[in-house]
Each structure stands twice: as C-alpha cells, then as structure tokens.
Structure 1
C-alpha cells in the first residue's frame, strides 16, 4: 500500500484536482492507495479570518463566509457536474460552519477548542468534494473521516498524537477496507472525548506520515507545487537546485528552517519505520523530486541546503549577576515554556554574562514581559539588565550531516557574509554539526542566501552586479564588450556579469532584474530623471551581493559618493580621476574604507586607459620591490597631438582632430594644460607610497598665457589660432635638432614633474606613435634596464577594456 498526500496548491484549482485524480488513478492500478488531502488553497486562511472577525463583533465575517461557501460550491459543480448529493452535503457542512461563526460572533470569543473546529472545515469539505470527483469519473473512491482514526490529547491547536490508539484504529480500518482508493482529510483529528482537534498548520503532511508508519507502507509521497526540496528557496535564489537525496535529519533541519514543502513533525513517524519519503510535483509528476531516507555519508558537497526563518526577534538577557549563578537558564526556559514561546535559537557566551535567544517576532513582547516578571528581583537590584529586544531579523542556516567531517565550512560561511556586508547578530552550531545558524537582518536575507548558494552550490561561480553611471561613448562600448564576452566569462572564468543599473546625464534605471543588453538604450530612455543621490540610494536599497558601482564620468559629486558606496560593501571601479587625484585625505580614506568593508577600489583607467600600469606598480610593491624613478608619457591625447603636429601644420587643426576622434576630454584644456598628466603621475606617486598633493607636482606649461586664461572651449580654440606662431616655434626648434616633442611625466627621488620635452632618437619616447603611452619603472630590482609598460593610452575601446579588466579582477576578491 502507498500513502499519498496532496497539499493546498495541488487541490487549489479544478485543473490541479484533475491532475491529482490522474496521479492517484494510475498508482491505484498497482496497489491500494490512501490519499490525504489538504484544504483547498487559501481556505484555511479564510476560515481563520472569518473567525477572527466574528470574535471581534465585525459583521464582515459574513462576507468571508460567503466567499468560502461560493468557492466550495463552484469546485463541487465543476468537478461533479452539479451532483445533487454532493451539493447537499457541501451545503450541510456550510450550514454548520455558518452556525459556528454565528456562535463565535454572539459570545465574542474564539477559544483554541473552537479554533480547531473552525479550521477543520477546510479539510472536511475538500475531502468530500475530491471523493465525489473521483466517483464522478467512474473511479471508485471511499471517504474516511480522519477524526475517527487519529486520536490526540486535548491540547487544542497543538495536539499531541496518542499513537497506541491511533495505530490500532488505522490498522484495523485498513485491514477490513476493500477500497483501492481511500480519501482522508489531513490536519484533522479528535480527542478521546470526540472533540475535533488539529495537528498544527502543515499537519496534513503529518497525517500522511502517521498513516504510513501505522500501515508500514513501502513509501510516503508528499505531492506539492515544486519538484522536491531545493538547495535554497527558489523564489529567492534562482539558481537553487532540487536535492535528489537527503537524510531524514537533514530534511528535518531544512524543514524546521523554513523549507515549507514539508511539515517538520512529518519525518518522525517515517523515520521510526525507515519509510522513504518522496517530495513530488503535482504539476510535473514525471520529475524525480526528492527522496528522504537513510543516507550513506558521501564525499560530495557536505552542504545539502541553505534555509531561513523570517520574522525573528532576538532577546538578550545579560548582567553581572548571571555569572556563576546556577539556575538562570532553567528559570529562563521554564518561563518561556509556560508562555508557550518556542525558542528558535540559543547562544550563550562561556563568560555566562549573557544568554541570547531567538523567538518568533510575534512572541517577542510576551517573552520579554514574562522574563522580566520572572527576574523582577534581580532587575530591582541591577544584577540583571532589562531584556534587550531586537526585531526585523531572520535566521539563516547551512544544513548537512557531513559538515562535521569537513573543515572550514563555518569560516567560509561567515567570510562570505562579511564580504557582502551582512552583519551577523548571533551564531549557533550544535555539537552534531548538522547545521550552522546565524541571525541576520531581514533585509539581507536574499543577498545572504544567494551569496552562500553561490559559494557552496555553484562551483564558486561568482555573480557580479554592475551599476554603471556615465553611459556615453566609453560606457556604450563597455556594455558592448560585456555583452560580447558574457558567455565566455561564464564558461571559462565561472563569472556571471549582470548589469542592474544605468545612468546618463538625463535618465537613470535601477532594476531588480538584469537589464537586457540588446536594447538597453530604450530601457534607459524610459527610466526616471537622473539623480546622483537617488541612484546611489537605489543601488544600496536593492542590496545585491557583489555589487559594483562603475563611474565613467568626470563628475566631482559622483566621485564624492564613493565613500557611501564602500560603507555598504559596494566596490567601485572608476574611470573618473577626481577621487584618486583629489585631496590625499580623501584618497587615503577611500583606501581605508576599501579594506574595512571589503569593497575593492579599482581605478586602473585613471592612468593608462587599458594599460596595466597601476596593476604592475602594485605588484612590484607587493612583492617587496621599491620604486626609484618613474618616467612616462601618460597622455594618449598629447602624444596623438604631437605625433600629428608637423612644422607648417596648424596646431588648431590637430587639436580639433584629437577632440573629434575622442582622444581628448570634452574640454581639451584639461589635457593640454598638463593637469590630466599631473593627476596621473600624482596617482602613481601615491600608489608608490608618497603622501603628496596635486600642488606638489611641478607643472611647466607649454600653452601660452592667452590659452590658459581662455573663458571656455570655443574661446580656447580661438586662442590656438591667435598663438599659432608659438606652437610653430616649438615644433620647428625640435625638428631642427632631429628631435620630437613629447609630454613627459617624471617621479624621481620623491619629486614629481610634468612638461613638454624635446627628445632625441636615443630616448625610449622618440618612436612612440599614435596615442600610445609608455611607462618606465626604475626600481631596486630594475635599476638600469627599466620595466616597461607600453601600448594604446587613449580611445573609447581601450578605456572600456580597462574598466572591463578591473571588473573581471573583482572575481578574485
């Protein structure tokens, strides 16, 4: 014989009930089947709502009752073609329900005993309708009232099963029954006095397990709306996977910690008889689902699942008077037991100075009052402090029987949470090491679950969520590169890049789902008005794991926002030089915040676009080398200008060409004044360990006073025409000596300078073509022949490539 249980969603619609009938009919061909059914989806909540309204003397309960009545009547008509006997039977049940609700309304009270009677109507009605539906299709099925089989004590709403009587009732009944299909309502039972009792919300699973154990069946099947137990809640973790096999104890832990596909007490009867439990999907019966049973210790993943419980409150009892005082814990737990407060989690420091317990938030005030009443004497003497209550919390748990034989799991768990700015309020791990539990803020649950799932179940595949501000020329090319390389990164680097936010100067978009890179322009155009502060607040509120803010602007307020991003463990990848080349205090504070909040600050493109200049410098220093001197051509813009400027040419035309082709900033004065190069050598000096400011760099301008005092960009270009002879002389003087003009930055013996130089053929800068950059690192290890980094130093594609490289490097953090 087999026992099958179908939950509320499985019987929540006419279509689903048709699927239930097909599954049961198919199985009953092989052997007799006992079918346990829940109330029609949503009915139990409606019953409780109606009872609560009635007890509050609110006549709106009548509307809820009508909704319950109409829903059942509609189901009965659809499944039995208006069978008059069935309709009359349902009508009689609804009449009893109406009388009960009227009584609750009149006496203004809803006792636990009455609550059980009220809640039972869901299963009593659904079991009748479903039995009639079988028979209507010509499939013989018999209804059996579970209350005549399952006996409990009189602890209403939380009744305990009297197993001796219950098992005798079940075995006797089924020994005599000739029916191949028996339909029973789940959740409901009765006391020895014949009063209706219930087995707790989710008790239909428990009913099925009680039947399975009493009948010693081959297997118990729990049919629901998902294909088994998952490695995490699939509604919160899209990458969650079905668990093929899991042990009884692991399933019990997961179900306790919120895996709602199984009611925790269900496992106990099955475990006692070693009956495997199968979690199956009514909507996809062909899928394997999850098998729960005795499991061998495996060498695979020691973690079977990650789960959580929401709406937790943390209560802390502490005080010097607790240290060395026996009986404190006994009194604490006894008073909570008397108040029927279930303790979810316990942790106590070895100093005995405090005890921390997790309870459901709904029980927190009652628990606090009871504890403070119990310890009133100690509180009056200030030996114990008032109970501290923290709310809006959740418990997350790693579950797996094999964890005890694997080192470093808790360390990996806590470091993963820490990297994602998930603060842990309390930790509990039993000696059996079947689960590791941590209390965190409710708002961080989704991020925590996804971060842990990524580490423990996805082969260390890292998901990086990008929020990009400044999607102009360089930003557009970065998005194109991400789109092109996304599959390669997933397949080869185990890296999943998702663009979750975009902003330009006009509009912005921050999305809960990844932005489609095939039509990001139209999505962004339909976004809200751009606002730097609101964009940042939206990114922080979205609270995604491994979040990265990418700044492709030259905007100072954007750069000043980096601190707040980092404080929320959001990494920063910056093309904008203002932060790294601003005040040393701000730069050093960003470095400090980066370390403190594990939020990498990446700004490779600040110096050489796509060239690994900063990375090379950092590696030299990290390996113990010391920088002696740096010589460099760091402006692709200026190199382009002077490589294309010949004697007799118009300097104005060359600069205009550089601007048009995107080699200069929108305001070319930033490049030609040497300020941009000065910022770059400043950054290299700081990364070399020097605490210097921009004013400390000697900047010898080659522009005229007229150029430097221009009022705007058009005026600047006019001054270039006016001072054409000045630039002609610069290039002709160099040409006459067989030399070329290069704008050189230098760091030597702690002093930095930038300026235009005329260099001969023996200089490494002489043959530097196009917009290329070159950096010569003279170090203690490279004293004579420098370490050279050379390549394209300007242009949208290479700058985007540099940003992309910084983003990819984040996978290692």
Structure 2
C-alpha cells in the first residue's frame, strides 16, 4: 500500500487534477493507494478571508463566496461530461449555500470563533476530494471517497487540534481495509473531536493526514506531491543556484521544515519516522524528476558521507527577539521557568533560546505577531522585580529573521559554525543572536530581515557552490580606463570562472551624465549603447541604490579623479563592501581620513585597495605591503612615478616644442584631463605620499617639498591657456634640456623619500644611475630597506596607459573578491 498526498497547487484546477489522476493511475498498476488531497489552491485562504470580511461587517464576503462557487463549478464542468455533472454540481451548490449561511451568521454577530473557522475551512478539502473521487470514478478507476473526519479524532483545540492516536490509528485501519477498490480518496487537513465536531490539524495539515494514514496502514512509502522537485538546499526564490537534495534523514528534514522550508508540514514526519516508512517529495508537474527521499538516520549517514556536511539552509521571517535582562537574575534560580511559563500561558511558541553564561540575560525568539502579547505577559510576571529595578522591562526587537544551517553530520566536522559566521561577517551581515543544539543538527542565527536573501546566498555559496563565487561590481567612471576595464572583464570572465571559480557580475555603472543598474548583470557588450538612455547620474542616488541592493561579495570601484566620489568610500566600507580605487584622492588626503578608511576596512572585514594609485598596473603597493607585513623596514624610496612626465621628457629632444610633446601625451591618454596635475608635480606628490604612508610613516601632503620646473604663471587659467603659456616659455624648457645634455644626463622627474622626508622635482640623471634607462611611459621604484640595503628592490614597467591601469584595477578586484 502506498499513500500519496497532493497539495493545493497540484489540485488547483481541472488541468492539474488531470495530472494528479494520471500519476495515481500509474501508481495503482503496481499497488493499491490512499490519496490524500488538499483544497483547490488558495481556496482555504478564500474561505477564511470571507469569514474575516463578514466579521468586520464587510459585505465583500458575498463576492468571495461567489468566486468560491464559480471555481468549483468550473472545475466540475471541465472534468465531468455534461450528462454526469448534475449530482456533483448539486453537492457543490449545497456546500456553498452552507458556507453562505455561516458567513451570514458571522456578519450579523460581527464575531468569529476558532470553532467556526474550522467548520468553514473544512469545506475546501471536503469539496476537492469529492470532485477528484467523482472524476476518477468516471475515468474508470475503482475508487472510494472517505471523509477524514470519520477516522481522525482530535481534542477540541480548534485550528491546531491535537490528534488522539489511540482512537485514530484503529479507526483508519478499520475504515481502509476494504479490498473492493484500488484507490481511497481522503480529505486532508480536517478531523473531528469526540463529539463529531469538525476540527483542523493546522495549516499544511494535509501532509500530516497522509503521514498518520501511512503509519496506521504500515504503508510501503509515503509520497508528498507538490510543485517543486524535492527538498532543496535553499529557497529557490532566494538562492538562484539552489539544488535538489536527493537523500536526507528524518531529523534533517524535520529541522528544515521547522525552519521555514515550506515543502513539508513540520509535524508530518513524526508518525512515519516511528514506523521507518520512507517519504518521497515529488513534483506533480515533473513526475519523472527523482525528487527527495527522506529515510532513517543510518541510511542517510551512509548517503551523506561523500556529500555536503550541511544539507540545507532555511529561514523563518517575521521574528521578534525578546530579551529579559537584569542584575537581579544572576545566581537566582527560577527566572527561566517563570519566563517560559508566562509565554506558555499565552500560547506563545518559543522558536529559539539563548542565554548568557553570566545569567544576566535570557533571549528568546518568537513570532513577531505575538511580540506585544509576550511583552505584556512577561512584564506582568516580573512586575515585582521591575519595581525594585532588579529586572529591566522586556526588550522587544522586530524586523528580524532566523537563518539556519541544517545537517546531520555537522557534529563530526569542526569549524562549521566558524565558517558560517565568518561568511556572514565578510558580507556585513550582523548576527543578533545564535543558537546551536547539543545534537548539532542545526546552527541558527538571528539577522535583520532585510539581510535574509543576502545571508542565504552567502551561506549557499560558501557551503554548496563548487562552480564559482559570484562577485558584484558597482563602477563609477567608465571613461577611457573604465571602458578598458569592462572590456577586460568581459574577455576574462570565462577564464576566471574556470580557473579561479569567480564570476564577476557588473551590477551598476555610472559616468558623469548617466547611471544604470541590473541585478542580474549589465550586458558588457552593449553597455555603451544603453548607458546614455539610462537615468541621470547622481552620486548620492548611486550609493543609495548600490547599498539597497544588499548583494553578497559586493565591490565598489572608483575610476574617477573626483573628490566627491572618494568621500563616499566610508559608506561602502561600513556596509562591508570592498572599495577598489584608481582615484588617488582618498589615499592622499588628510592622514586621518586615510587612516580611518584603512581602519574601516579592517573593522568591517572588507578590502580598501588602491594599487593603481602608484604605477598603474605595476605591483608597487602590493610589493611594499609584503615587505612591511613580513617585518622589513623601508628606509628610502627613489622613484620615477609619472609615466606622463617620463614620456614627455623622453620625447622632448628639441625638435618639437615642449607644448607639442605634452599635447601628444594628452592625446595618447597618458595625462590627467588637466595635464598640470602631472606636470606641476601634484600627481607625483600624491604617489610618494601614498608610498610613505604604506611604508608606515605618518605624513601629510604639506610635508612634501615640490621643486617645480613649470613657470608659476602657467599654472593659472584654463588648460588651453596653460598650453599657450608653455609655448611662450619654450626657451625655459629648452634651457633645461640643454643643461642636462651638457652633463651627459637625462631629465627625470624624481620622487624621493628618506629619513621621514619626501621631495619631488626635476633631476639630472647620469648614465650610471638606475633611473637612467627608463623609456617611453615607464615608471621605476627603488625600495631601500633593512633587507635590501645595498642593492634596492626594483620595480619597473609601464606606468601609464588605459590598458595597464585597467589591468591593475582588475587585479585589485580579483584580490578583493578572493
């Protein structure tokens, strides 16, 4: 004998009922079956809503009842030929008339009781089971309809009635022992008390009905047919990469169902577990899918040996956290007992418990809808202690949810909880409370409801994803360098996914005019066409939208030279969003700002990376960090840090004016939009300042000596006026060149740091100097340290250009992601 249960979506309409009957017919080819059915999808909600309307004096209940009648009429007419409909339509009409009479009474009294709620709610399953039985009979199946109220007996705790198994199990065995039919159709969810008055066994109780019947009959299997292909590693509506669990233990399934997995009603497994009856979770709309098998622990342990130690991730929303605190609780027995008694008397279920070892506080989680009632009850219970200020008034926090890891094997694998909280912490998800049972099947954390989707995705990625880690980018500045970066990401994403298990998803981009967002990723092949059509750019809006997305593994990338953009880094870091900055302003601003950003990155477990601030794509800062972190001390830095100035002086040979060479450098993308930032030395000052700070020295921009070579008047006015000024002063630049040639030297703009002092300026570099053989736009940095005292550590290569700068930003993104 098999027991099959079909949920509301499986019997929502005539088309779905046809699928159900097809599944049942395939089953009874091999064995007899008991089929337990729910009400038509959404019908129980409609019945209870009509009662609620009536109790409020809202006559819209009549419209709802009309819709209930129409849905059943339409279903009958679609399934049964016209000549055979009348009897079934009469049953539906009689039932709807009774529903209307009950609601009319509620309307007149403006009151509804739990007993009446059960009476109304029962019509859903009663009608659906009658219709399905009639359709099967017409289809040639030997079927018998059974009203569950005749078999399942409960107490009178209406809406959540407790089953009396001593009466129920023999009733089922007697009622379903006939051999004259192939299928019994049973109404789920409903039962009756000792007086025969209708009760219900909890929303989702049709699963429970099926399990009770399976236990009573010692069924071979129990099959729960629903609209998903089994229990999943996480809610697929929240985690796009959720996977079906092929095999799971009773204990694990019970934990997952208790903590929000809606596939199965929590009490369902207890009756079948006691009889060791296997349970299958199957998909009515994809019956060929394997589904999930729920079996005993021993079998599951063997099956799980080569699988994930965490079997699933679940969550419960609408949670309130209640905290009872006070110095008068320490060392005094009985406080916990009184707290739980107060809650129990109000029938408030405690979902999670945690207590500090100091006994100064007890924290419990309950359904948020019961929070106010709980506060009243607990405050009343401890009124005496509160009056003496021994216990504080109960604290209530709402807007919370519970996220839980479930797995039978977690107890034998150390570090699971550490891995869980580390993953949450890296993504800025604050944990308000923690609970872990002694069985270690479940590790639960209370988090903000707005973080639930993020938390589930973070944990699912950490414990289940073997294919890749998804990284989300928000990029400001998609000009020359930004465009190259997006091109490189597009070209390299497949390689990163294959080799580093990273998938980079560009979620938001902005230039000075427009910005656009797409949670699933912006198309990197068409973004140039789409961005001008997008919404107007606003830095504050960009920040708000990026943070509101609340995506895991997020990175903010700044490829601008804008001080306002640099000023928002702290907002991202405080949300555990890493910052990758091509923009030098933040790291070269006041020391206290630089230090705060570094501290925020450390405090919020994220990264603040700015490798391209010095040397474009060269590994200058990374190498310096490695030296310092390994205990080396930097004594001196000597460097040519401007690819622009190196390019200019390498190309200025007197055949063209200095102004023309600078124009060429700007045209080829080697200068800032305002070349004076390069030629005036400001850019180089920022770079040596950043290196000094990264070497461990506290220094400000004002501490750096700038031996400028440009005439002062050239620094005034517009960029075009700057070029005109340089043209007028060509003799000045020619003199600088000739003086260097006379000494057989080259002109190099050099930055130095030694003994805590820094300077930048034009120097004559002789052939025997390490800086002499530096061509094109190359940079070079020489680190003199305790370990590299005689021969410096030299880093040399292209220090300007959109491609190499973009590649440096890209490398920082990968570092932040890992």
Question: TM-score normalized by structure 1?
Answer: 0.98
Aligned to 2:730: 724
| Deviation for aligned residue 1:461 | 4.1
Rounded Cα–Cα distance in structure 2 between residues aligned with 1:524 and 1:204: 52
Is the 8 Å Cα contact of residues 302 and 400 (structure 1) preserved in structure 2? yes
RMSD after superposition: 1.4
Q: How does 1:264-343 map to 2 (within 5 A)?
A: 264-296=266-298, 297=301, 298-299=304-305, 300-343=307-350
Matches within 5 A, 1:604-683: 604-683=611-690
Which runs of at least 4 in structure 1 moved beyond 4 Å after TM superposition?
Answer: none
Given candidates 797, 801, 807, the residue that maps to 1:795 is 801
Query: Deviation of residue 195 (structure 1)?
Result: 0.8
Of 67, 87, 90, the residue aligned with 1:88 is 90
2:747 maps to 1:741: yes
Distance in structure 1 (CA, Å) of the matches to 2:45 and 2:32:
32
Identify the range of structure 1 (316-325 vs 532-541) with the bigger mean alpha-carbon deviation: 316-325
Deviation at 1:460, TM superposition (A): 8.8
Distance 1:447 1:496 in 2: 17
In the alignment, the residues of structure 2 paired with residue 771 and residue 510 of structure 1 have an alpha-carbon distance, to the nearest angstrom, of 36
Q: Which residue of 2 aligns with 1:426?
A: 433
Instruction: Quote the Cα distance in structure 1 between the aligned partners of 2:81 and 2:810.
Output: 64
Q: Which of 755, 760, 783 is residue 789 of structure 2 equivalent to?
A: 783
CA drift at 1:133: 2.6
> Does 2:424 match 1:417?
yes
- What is the distance in 1 between the residues matched to 2:524 and 2:35? 50
Cα distance in 1 for residues equivalent to 2:539 and 2:230: 45
- For residues 466-519 of structure 1, the C-alpha deviation after alignment (integer angstroms, 9 at most, x for no partner) is 100111111111111111111111111111211111111111123332222222
Deviates more, 1:32-41 or 1:262-271: 32-41
Tell me the alpha carbon deviations over residues 601-624 of structure 1, each in whole angstroms, 9 at most, x when there is no partner.
000000111111000000001111
Q: How far does residue 152 in structure 1 lie from its aligned partner after superposition?
A: 1.0
Q: Deviations over 1:348-387 (max 9, x none)?
A: 1122221111000001111111111222222222221111
SS in 1 for 2:176: helix
* Whole-angstrom CA distance in 1 between matches of 2:673 and 2:276: 75
Q: 1:139: how far off?
A: 3.5
> 1:727 & 1:135 partners in 2: Cα distance?
103
Q: Within 2, Cα distance between the matches of 1:114 and 1:136? A: 34
- What corresponds to 2:473 in structure 1? 466
**Aligned: 1:110 with 2:116:** no
Instruction: Tell me how far 1:177 sits from its aligned partner.
Output: 4.1
Counterpart of 1:70 in structure 2 is 70
Mapping of residues 157-172 of structure 1, within 5 Å:
157-172=159-174
DSSP-derived class of the 1:325 partner: coil
Q: Where does the alignment leave 5 or more consecutive residues of structure 1 unmatched?
A: none
Find the aligned partners of 1:447 and 1:593 in 2 and give their Cα distance.
Answer: 21
Distance in structure 1 (CA, Å) of the matches to 2:530 and 2:656: 46
- Residue pair 1:157, 1:198 contacting (<8 A) in 2 also: yes
Indicate yes or no: 2:596 matched with 1:589. Answer: yes
Q: Which ranges of structure 2 fall in alignment gaps of 5 or more residues?
A: none
Q: 1:8: Cα distance to partner? A: 1.1
1:8 touches 1:40 (CA, 8 Å); kept in 2? yes
Q: Secondary structure of 2:128's match?
A: helix
Q: SS at 1:791's partner residue?
A: strand
Question: Which residue in 1 is equivalent to 2:557?
Answer: 550
Q: Is the 8 A contact 2:176 2:184 kept in 1?
A: no
For normalisation by structure 2, the TM-score amounts to 0.97
Give the 5 Å matches for 1:120-199.
120-199=122-201
SS in 2 for 1:577: coil
2:609 aligned partner: 602
Contact 1:43 1:68 in 2 (8 A): yes
Contact 1:510/1:535, CA 8 A, preserved across alignment: no
Of 771, 774, 778 in structure 2, the residue corresponding to residue 768 of structure 1 is: 774
In the alignment, structure 1 residue 50 sits paired with structure 2 residue 50: yes
- Aligned counterparts of 2:593 and 2:170: Cα–Cα separation in 1: 77
Pairing partner for 2:255 from 235, 253, 256: 253
Distance apart, 1:248 and its partner CA:
0.4
Which residue of structure 1 lines up, in the alignment, with residue 210 of structure 2?
208
CA shift, 1:3, in A, is 0.7
SS of 1:175 mapped into structure 2: coil
